[in-house]
Amino acid sequence: MSDLLWQKPGVTVDAAIQAFLAGDDVVLDREFFLHDIEASRAHAQGLARIAILAEDELAGIERELDVLAGDFSAGRFVLDDRYEDGHSAIEARLTERLGDAGRRIHTGRSRNDQVLVATRLWLKAQLARTQALCVEVAGIALDRAAAERDVPLPGYTHLQRAVVSSLGMWWSAWAEAFIDNAARARDTLAWIDANPLGSAAGYGVNLPLDRDHTTAALGFGRMQVAATYAQLSRGKFEMAALEALSSAMLDLRRLAWDLSLFTAAEFGFVALPAQYTTGSSIMPNKRNPDVIELMRATYASVAAARCEIEQLLSLPSGYHRDLQVSKGALFHGFGKGLQALALLPDLLRNLDWNTDRMRGALEPSMYATDLAVDMAREGVPFRDAYRQAADPARWAEGDPAASLLARVSPGAAADPGLEVLRARLVDVQGMSGS
Ligand code: ARG
C-alpha cells in the first residue's frame, strides 16, 4: 500500500488492524471512482477561483484527472489495495504526476465530504436509471393494456375466482404502479440533489471556498448548506434512494408472483419467453421460471440494504467510520435491484397469453356481483339483491365481453382511463431524460 495520508512518525501499522480498517473499501470505491474524479475536478476549479491553485496547476490537474478517468475506464489503472481508498488514490496519482499541484488538491476538503459528494453523484445516477426503467416498464404495460384491453382474464381475491377481469385491467395496474414508482424515483432524486462538497470534515474550513461554483459545475440543484448537516445526511439519503427503489421492487415482487402462478399448468394463462426459463438438472421435462423467482427475491436484497444502513445510523452528529459500512450495502442493493428491473421490459414485451385458458377459467359464479348490481340499479336494495344473487340457481354461463363492457366505473374495464395514465407517463418521462 502507498503511504497512508495520516501516518504518524514512529507508529507502525499493524497489518491485521489495517486489513480490518480497510475491509473491501478500496474495491467498493471503484463503483463511484469516476464521480470522485469528477468532483475532484470541480474542487480544483474552486481552489483556482480563490487562488489556492495557479491556473497552470489547475490545467495540469484537470488534464491528469482526465487521463486517470480514461486509464481507469480502460482498465489501465486498477484501484486496489495498493491504496487505502479511492480518495487517497486520486491524490497519490496527482502527486506522482504533478508534484506540488497534486499535494495541494486536498486543501479545504476532507475525505468526509469527498466520499459524500461521490456517493451523492452516484445516487443521482442510480435514481435517474431507476426512473428511466420504471418509465419503460410503464410504457410497455400501457401499450399492452390498450392492445389487449378487452381480453377476459379471471379476477381473483384470496386466490379464489371473484369476477371477470381483463388484460386491460391487469396491464393498466402495472402501468400505474410503475408510473408512481418513476415519479417516486424522480422526486427522491430532487430531494437528495444537494451538494455536500465544501463541508470538509463537517465543520467547514478557514477559506472562502466557492461552493456555488462546485454546486453548478457538478450539476446539483442546490448546495447542502449546513456543513454539519452534510454528514448527518449520509445514510439518510441512501435510505431514501433505496426506499424509492424498493417501491419498484415491491411491485416487481407481486408481478413476478402473478406470473409464476399464471405459468403453472394449473392456470396455464401465460408462457414466459424461453430465455426467462431454465431446465432442471434431473427432470428432463421441466421449464422453470427461475428468472421471475429471482426477480421476486430481489426485494429482499434491497430491503436488507436499507435495513443495514438504518442500523448504522444510531450515532451522534459528526463523521464516524461506521458510516463507511453503508457503501457496501448501498452498492449491493442498487446493483441487484437495477439488474432485476432492467430485465423486466423484455419480459413484459414478450409475454404470450393463452386466451383460451383464461376464458376457460371463468365460471358462472363470477357474474354474481354483476347480477346483484344490475338488480340494485333496477331499484332492489343492494342487500336484498346480494342475497338473491348468491343463489347458485340464478347463475348461468355469462358473457365475459358483456360483463367487461358494462364495467363503466372509472378505472374499470370499460373505462380504464388509459389516456389519463398516458398523460402522467409523459409527465414523468419528461424529467427522466429518457
Ligand atoms: N472510506 C471512508 C468512508 O467511506 C472515507 C472517509 C474516511 N474519513 C475518515 N475520517 N476516516 O467513510
- Tell me the pLDDT tens digit for each residue of 302-334: 999 999 999 999 999 999 999 999 999 999 999
The one-character DSSP state at 271 is: E
Q: Is the pTM of this model over 0.85?
A: yes
Quick one: average pLDDT of 13-23?
86
Q: Whose CA is nearest to atom 11 of ligand 1?
A: 321
Q: What CATH code is assigned to 112-201+225-360?
A: 1.20.200.10
Quick one: average pLDDT of 7-36?
89
Domain ranges of the chain: 15-107, 112-201+225-360
Amino acid at 421: L
Dist. CA 115 → ligand 1 center (Å): 7
Strands (E), 169-221: 194-195
Q: Whose CA is nearest to atom 7 of ligand 1?
A: 111
Confidence tier at 434 by pLDDT (50, 70, 90): very low
The total of other beta-carbon atoms located within 10 Å of residue 5's CB is 13
Dist. CA 235 → ligand 1 center (Å): 13
- Per DSSP, the three-state class of 154 is strand
312 is written with which cell numbers?
448504522
Q: Which atom of ligand 1 is nearest to the CA of 319?
A: 10
Dist. CA 100 → ligand 1 center (Å): 24
Dist. CA 6 → ligand 1 center (Å): 12
The CATH homologous superfamily to which domain 15-107 belongs is Fumarase/aspartase (N-terminal domain) (1.10.275.10)
306 is written with which cell numbers?
436499507
Distance CA 139, CA 175 (A): 7
Q: Which atom of ligand 1 is nearest to the CA of 25?
A: 1
CB 220 within 8 A of CB 195: yes
Q: Which atom of ligand 1 is nearest to the CA of 87?
A: 5
Dist. CA 10 → ligand 1 center (Å): 23
The radius of gyration of the chain's CA atoms, rounded to the nearest angstrom, is 28
What is the helix (H) or strand (E) element at residue 222, kind and residue range?
strand 222-223
Counting ligand 1 atoms within 8 A of each CB, the residue from 112, 114, 309 with the most, and so the one to mutate, is: 112
Counting ligand 1 atoms within 8 A of each CB, the residue from 25, 91, 115 with the most, and so the one to mutate, is: 115
Catalytic residue annotation: 158, 280
- Domain 15-107 and domain 112-201+225-360, same fold? Reply is no
Q: Does the structure show a pLDDT above 60 at 432?
A: no
Confidence tier at 3 by pLDDT (50, 70, 90): low
Q: Whose CA is nearest to atom 2 of ligand 1?
A: 324
Q: Which atom of ligand 1 is nearest to the CA of 6?
A: 11
**For position 418, what pLDDT does the model report?**
98
Dist. CA 111 → ligand 1 center (Å): 6
Q: Whose CA is nearest to atom 3 of ligand 1?
A: 324
The alpha carbon of 68 is separated from its chain's Cα centroid by a whole number of angstroms, namely 29
Q: Which atom of ligand 1 is nearest to the CA of 321?
A: 12
Q: Which atom of ligand 1 is nearest to the CA of 201?
A: 10
Q: Whose CA is nearest to atom 4 of ligand 1?
A: 324
CB 90 within 8 A of CB 37: yes
CB 112 within 8 A of CB 319: yes
**For position 286, what pLDDT does the model report?**
77
Dist. CA 114 → ligand 1 center (Å): 9
Task: Please tell me the number of Cα atoms within 13 Å of 126 on its side-chain side.
Answer: 30
Q: Whose CA is nearest to atom 10 of ligand 1?
A: 112
Query: Each residue of 150-180: pLDDT tens digit?
Result: 999 999 999 999 999 999 999 999 999 999 9
Residues in the ligand 1 pocket, defined by CB under 6 Å: 25, 85, 111-112, 115, 319, 321, 323-324, 327
Q: Whose CA is nearest to atom 1 of ligand 1?
A: 324
Q: Whose CA is nearest to atom 12 of ligand 1?
A: 324
Average pLDDT, the chain: 95
Q: Does the structure show a pLDDT above 60 at 433?
A: no
Interstrand relation of 152-157 and 222-223 (parallel, antiparallel or unpaired): unpaired
Select from 295, 287, 242 the least CA-distant residue to 268: 287
Dist. CA 22 → ligand 1 center (Å): 10
Query: Each residue of 178-220: pLDDT tens digit?
Result: 999 999 999 999 999 999 999 999 999 999 999 999 999 999 9
Interstrand relation of 222-223 and 270-271 (parallel, antiparallel or unpaired): unpaired
Distance CA 390, CA 379 (A): 18
End-to-end CA distance of the chain: 42
